[in-house]
Structure 1
Amino acid sequence: MFELTICTGGHRRTVPAEAGQLVSDLLQRYIPSFALPCAGNHTCGKCRVHVEGAVEPAGESEVHLLGAQALADGVRLACACRIQGDAVVTLHDEGTSKIVAWYKTPDFERTESGCGFAVDIGTTTVAVQLIDRTSGAILAERLAENAQRGYGADVISRIEACKTVGLDVLSDRISEQIEGMAQECLREAGISHVEESVVTGNSTMLHLYEGLDPASLAVVPFDVQSYFGCYSRRTLAGSPVYLPRCVGAYVGADITCAILAADLMRGGIQLLTDIGTNGEMALAWNGKLLCCATAAGPAFEGAGLSCGMPAAPGAIRTVTEKNGTVTYETVGEEPACGICGSGILDALSVMLKTEIIDDSGYLENEDSEEDDVWEIGGSGVSITQRDVRQIQLAKSAICAGLITLLEHEGLSVDDVSRFAIAGGFGNTINQDSAAEIGLFPAGLRDHTVFIGNGALGGASMLLMNRSLREQTEQLAQSAVELSLSTSAEFMDYYVDCMAFMQF
């Protein structure tokens, strides 16, 4: 038996370790929030730690993902590094993500009294707000990365993790996290009691919260154990929890809430997309509602990118070019240490404009010793060819999904009167950069509105007006879910939308 000393945030903790044990297994046991975005498959290179002491030499995957210099500096991947004796591991402190729980909602009547919680369980981020239901005032809020992230960055990874570590582990992880965040809000506001809460999320997140096996969500015909639209078996801060209704297996209660917050059914031809790990979309016209979902992946939120990170201090959030000079801004005006989603879209737009990449996404930088890497304005933060391909896959899925929705109803981009973008990522993007690289059809640019975290906004509306719950349940029940996985049109558009260009 050996000892592993874990250093994080100025604290040291020594734990027992066995020969051959993975550092990641120990970190997940003693530091539950430690993230493994690719679920330990040695593909993303994000679980970097500094290691000293007796560990096995780096294997081929670590050499490829880290490079010789990082390895020489003691950097290792926790998911690939195995203990051989006593060792010390230091976790890098990237700061707290500044993901603002901002949203716009239409005017609505507040009919309830007392206080309650509105909660959005995102695949990547969890948002909790304590709300005075009479005035609508936000009394306290907490934002954190989803505590299940150690089991993968996407819903499929989480579903697979249920088979290996057990459903109860993931279910308890998220429920305990939300309860802890709620208690912090109560202490901050000096409140001891809430009337009830509304917890929303995609279908997989709600299944995990409820302790329902999500395995059927990952295989055809994608059956769900529950569409929800009911009260939870759990309580939050001792109060009942209402779970909004899902549309289908991959169009969850989060999009139902976003539809409410976007006032999508108010008339005209309305289009909505929630841009994040799961790309969910809805089209409303002529009293009908058509929805779909596509796997955008976590690249928009920084996961899987060589220098990707959340919108924390030091993250490059904007990139511009003028007269051959590239400039950038970071979150908190801190020294650049990575790049977040809004910054990567700007960077790709600049790379396209300056012909660092062509419309196929091929990167060739004649000014660099490594022609498949581009550094952002002397920041030390780079974009690699692999990064370009990751965003290329994600943006193609979103754009193709939007076009497929419209075509299914015989509509064109020019017919759309309003295009609402929801989600923490959609809250900060430069719509010109997004249109220029083909994240969405350019014809939607002048009709675009940003509603922020629409899922949380809709949840807050349901918390403050009980009658809206029946309305959204009926809306979700009547909505039609378009399966993109079986759509030949979507696959054709998906290939076409790979190009970095305006559509």
Structure 2
Amino acid sequence: MKDFRIIFQPGALRQQAAAGTSIMEAMSQAGLESDFPCGGMGKCGKCRVKVIEGLAKPTSAEQSRLTRQELEDGIRLACMTEIQEDMVVEILNPKQLKHNILMNSVDRPFSVQPHLRKFFAEVSQPTLSEHKSDWQRLRESLAAQGDMNNLKAPLSTLRRLPDMLREANNKLTTVVYDSEVLGLEPGNTTETMLGMAFDIGTTTIVGYLMDLNSGKELEVVSTLNPQAQYGGDVISRITYAGKQENGLASLHKAVTDAINKLIGEAAGRAGTSRTNIYGISIAANTTMHHLFLGINPRSIGVSPYVSAVNQGLVVDPSELGLEINGAGQVFVLPNIAGFVGADTTAVLLATEPDRREDVTLILDIGTNGEIVLGSSKKMVACSAAAGPAFEGAQITNGMRGAVGAIDHIKFGDNLEFTVIGGGSPAGICGSALLDGVAGLVELGMLNKRGKFLMPDQLTNPESLRFKDRLIEYEGTWAFLLADAGETLHGRPIMITQNDIRELQLAKGAIAAGVRILMESSGIQPEDIKEVLLAGAFGNYLNPHSACVIGLIPRELETKIRMIGNGAGTGAKIALLSAGEFSRAGDIAAAVSFIELGSYSRFNIIFAENTYFKLD
């Protein structure tokens, strides 16, 4: 099969691609981070590129998603356009490839208790009078340092011991995990012991480089999850893993390659080597957990939505293709249920509702919203299928929280908004959609069903100043945020009637989950002491907007606290403390899971919560 040359502009990045490869696939091969919310199905129209040379005839998907002028200007969808000759492709608005990835997190006190330990040993010389083996003399030297009489060693360690012992002049460091000597190092290396904690999300991956001796955070690195090229949500990735040839292997390799890259980046920044990394902890939702481990997640996607494994795992890094010290171990936090994963367990480990007498409500809001309600007496959890609206997908001008996205909107004397990175806007992300719709509700420009009132129906005097922003779009009304002359791409940015409907479905799912957990536990809003919002969307949303639209009960607005990347905090704690990692298993086992679809009143509660409450 013939290969063709692709040049990506700006930057003149060159990439070879086989005939029939899509521009999207070539971008991935070239290491260009991009966003394909619909998983490359041609449905969202968000992956616009400009083909400068090698322009192909537009596909039917492109003809339906792009205007005639865009097609004439060489605009194509990267996921739909196949490479059949040498091409020059311009990445439109390359700043948008830079996403805002939440890396900050809360901290809580705990004791550092390393999983792996290092012991320096000065091993006695062999003599003719005492025929002790190398391994026996090493064990005796280590036993003198504490209770290590039952040490074992795998064959790989015993094979290395004779040469290592003599080359190191009988002075070496052992790496011990669970009474087993997994590594040998010449000299005294006990001061060097690093690890990395990872939060593997559907959209992003964040890694924290930690000193396992001191507990100090050394570096934080992040990237978009490259599995996005196979689908923007967990269901599409489950489908890809199950139905595409080598689908599971491709998804597994994508995430492990990304983690290896982040390990190298973090080590480079810290001026160290990846061979100094001995431990990795993993917090991930259940689907990402399975794909990371190379376990087919097909059972999660069909009723009764069970995972292959929930328990915490300790895995040899070589089994996963992770490039760290050969004596290292990978500590995978436990899942709770099919759609409430180890990332939620990590959040609970970080926030400790199981040790609080007062009731706490914890929400991690995204495409799949995980909700936990409880205290030391009882914890219940559910998963709410909110859909992609909060992340900008299936929204007319939606995009993720990247440079160029409108992230917050304010209705004052005039309409004001802020743009991530500054400059002209390119789209609207979930937090801004929340602000926009909340403002329209407060201004009385929407009825309780979320339908726009016509301009002559507006009665609130404050709404009249925004009357001219109501425009017709595809046979119905929309609210104009920025006209074509104000935007980065020359197309207007608006909130459409369909966007509002998508938000209603998303917020209805989350709100129904909250209400069902409260109802099943006999808890009223006034019983809840604190509301903790975890994750990227929860960190960037305006709590007032969330309460206005009914995403969170209005009575709880003053009790809301953002905790940043709670899953990242939990992953760090589990990495630094063997006791806390063990406790994570106890926490996961203590949570009762409620399947919302099987709750008798779910449909009624969901429908009620899609409406807006008007004052």
For normalisation by structure 2, the TM-score amounts to: 0.76
Q: How far off is 1:101 after superposition?
A: 0.6
Aligned 1:52-451 pairs, distance under 5 A: 52-83=52-83, 85-92=85-92, 93=94, 94-112=96-114, 114-162=193-241, 163-165=243-245, 166-192=247-273, 193-234=276-317, 235=322, 237-238=324-325, 239-265=328-354, 266-285=356-375, 287-323=377-413, 325-363=414-452, 366=455, 367=468, 368-370=471-473, 371-376=476-481, 379-380=486-487, 381-451=493-563
Superimposed CA distance per residue, residues 307-344 of structure 1 (whole angstroms, 9 cap, x where no aligned partner): 22233333212110113x10111223332222222222
In 1, Cα distance between the equivalents of 2:15 and 2:336? 47
Task: Specify the alignment match of 1:47 in structure 2.
Answer: 47
Residue identity matched to 1:210: L
- The correspondence for 1:461, drawn from 560, 566, 573, is 573
> Could you say if the C-alpha distance between residues 16 and 139 of structure 1 is closer, same or farther in structure 2, counting changes exceeding 3 Å?
closer
In 2, Cα distance between the equivalents of 1:446 and 1:293? 24
In 2, Cα distance between the equivalents of 1:410 and 1:369? 46
SS at match of 1:224: coil
In 1, Cα distance between the equivalents of 2:349 and 2:525? 22
SS at match of 2:306: coil
> Could you say if the C-alpha distance between residues 386 and 58 of structure 1 is closer, same or farther in structure 2, counting changes exceeding 3 Å?
farther
Asked if the contact 1:326–1:377 (Cα under 8 Å) also holds between the matched residues in 2, the reply is no
Task: Specify the alignment match of 1:482 in structure 2.
Answer: 594
Further displaced range: 414-423 or 145-154: 414-423
In 2, Cα distance between the equivalents of 1:102 and 1:373? 36
> Could you say which structure has the larger radius of gyration?
2
In 2, Cα distance between the equivalents of 1:249 and 1:122? 15
Aligned 1:15-26 pairs, distance under 5 A: 15-16=16-17, 18=19, 22-26=22-26
SS at match of 2:538: coil
Superimposed CA distance per residue, residues 360-387 of structure 1 (whole angstroms, 9 cap, x where no aligned partner): 2224675325353322255543222232
Superimposed CA distance per residue, residues 58-88 of structure 1 (whole angstroms, 9 cap, x where no aligned partner): 3453333233343333222223334565543
> Could you say if the C-alpha distance between residues 357 and 2 of structure 1 is closer, same or farther in structure 2, counting changes exceeding 3 Å?
farther
The gaps in structure 2 that reach 5 residues or longer are 118-192, 456-467, 488-492
SS at match of 1:352: helix
In 2, Cα distance between the equivalents of 1:393 and 1:43? 19
Residue identity matched to 1:237: I
Asked if the contact 2:348–2:587 (Cα under 8 Å) also holds between the matched residues in 1, the reply is no
Asked if the contact 2:367–2:390 (Cα under 8 Å) also holds between the matched residues in 1, the reply is yes
Residue identity matched to 1:460: K
In 1, Cα distance between the equivalents of 2:337 and 2:84? 48
Task: Specify the alignment match of 1:12 in structure 2.
Answer: 13
Q: How far off is 1:89 after superposition?
A: 2.4
In 1, Cα distance between the equivalents of 2:443 and 2:74? 36
> Could you say if the C-alpha distance between residues 174 and 420 of structure 1 is closer, same or farther in structure 2, counting changes exceeding 3 Å?
same
In 1, Cα distance between the equivalents of 2:541 and 2:357? 26
> Could you say if the C-alpha distance between residues 6 and 130 of structure 1 is closer, same or farther in structure 2, counting changes exceeding 3 Å?
same
Asked if the contact 1:179–1:236 (Cα under 8 Å) also holds between the matched residues in 2, the reply is yes
Q: How far off is 1:301 after superposition?
A: 2.1
Asked if the contact 1:349–1:437 (Cα under 8 Å) also holds between the matched residues in 2, the reply is yes
SS at match of 1:452: coil
Superimposed CA distance per residue, residues 79-125 of structure 1 (whole angstroms, 9 cap, x where no aligned partner): 33345655432223114112231111332223348432110000011
Further displaced range: 197-206 or 343-352: 343-352
In 2, Cα distance between the equivalents of 1:491 and 1:236? 48
Superimposed CA distance per residue, residues 431-465 of structure 1 (whole angstroms, 9 cap, x where no aligned partner): 00111011111122121111111111111111222
In 2, Cα distance between the equivalents of 1:42 and 1:55? 18
> Could you say if the C-alpha distance between residues 71 and 383 of structure 1 is closer, same or farther in structure 2, counting changes exceeding 3 Å?
farther
Q: How far off is 1:159 after superposition?
A: 0.8
Asked if the contact 1:140–1:185 (Cα under 8 Å) also holds between the matched residues in 2, the reply is yes
Asked if the contact 1:210–1:232 (Cα under 8 Å) also holds between the matched residues in 2, the reply is no
SS at match of 1:119: strand
Asked if the contact 1:257–1:458 (Cα under 8 Å) also holds between the matched residues in 2, the reply is yes
Compare relative contact order (CA 8 Å, sep 6+) and give the higher one, 1 or 2.
Answer: 1
Residue identity matched to 1:262: T
Asked if the contact 1:194–1:237 (Cα under 8 Å) also holds between the matched residues in 2, the reply is yes
Residue identity matched to 1:38: C
> Could you say if the C-alpha distance between residues 351 and 467 of structure 1 is closer, same or farther in structure 2, counting changes exceeding 3 Å?
same
Name the % identity. 33
Q: How far off is 1:160 after superposition?
A: 1.0
In 2, Cα distance between the equivalents of 1:83 and 1:372? 39
> Could you say if the C-alpha distance between residues 409 and 397 of structure 1 is closer, same or farther in structure 2, counting changes exceeding 3 Å?
same
Residue identity matched to 1:116: G
Q: How far off is 1:152 after superposition?
A: 0.8
> Could you say if the C-alpha distance between residues 43 and 133 of structure 1 is closer, same or farther in structure 2, counting changes exceeding 3 Å?
same
* Counterpart check, 1:37 vs 2:116: no
In 2, Cα distance between the equivalents of 1:350 and 1:220? 39
Q: How far off is 1:43 after superposition?
A: 1.9
In 2, Cα distance between the equivalents of 1:312 and 1:240? 34
In 2, Cα distance between the equivalents of 1:304 and 1:245? 32
Q: How far off is 1:392 after superposition?
A: 1.9
SS at match of 1:156: helix
Asked if the contact 1:55–1:84 (Cα under 8 Å) also holds between the matched residues in 2, the reply is no
> Could you say if the C-alpha distance between residues 65 and 420 of structure 1 is closer, same or farther in structure 2, counting changes exceeding 3 Å?
same
For normalisation by structure 1, the TM-score amounts to: 0.92
Further displaced range: 170-179 or 406-415: 406-415
In 2, Cα distance between the equivalents of 1:200 and 1:31? 25
Asked if the contact 1:316–1:336 (Cα under 8 Å) also holds between the matched residues in 2, the reply is yes
Residue identity matched to 1:226: V
SS at match of 1:426: helix
SS at match of 1:467: helix
In 2, Cα distance between the equivalents of 1:134 and 1:364? 62
In 2, Cα distance between the equivalents of 1:66 and 1:364? 29
SS at match of 1:131: strand
SS at match of 1:383: strand
Asked if the contact 1:33–1:150 (Cα under 8 Å) also holds between the matched residues in 2, the reply is no
In 2, Cα distance between the equivalents of 1:101 and 1:347? 26
Pairs aligned (count): 501
Further displaced range: 235-244 or 349-358: 349-358
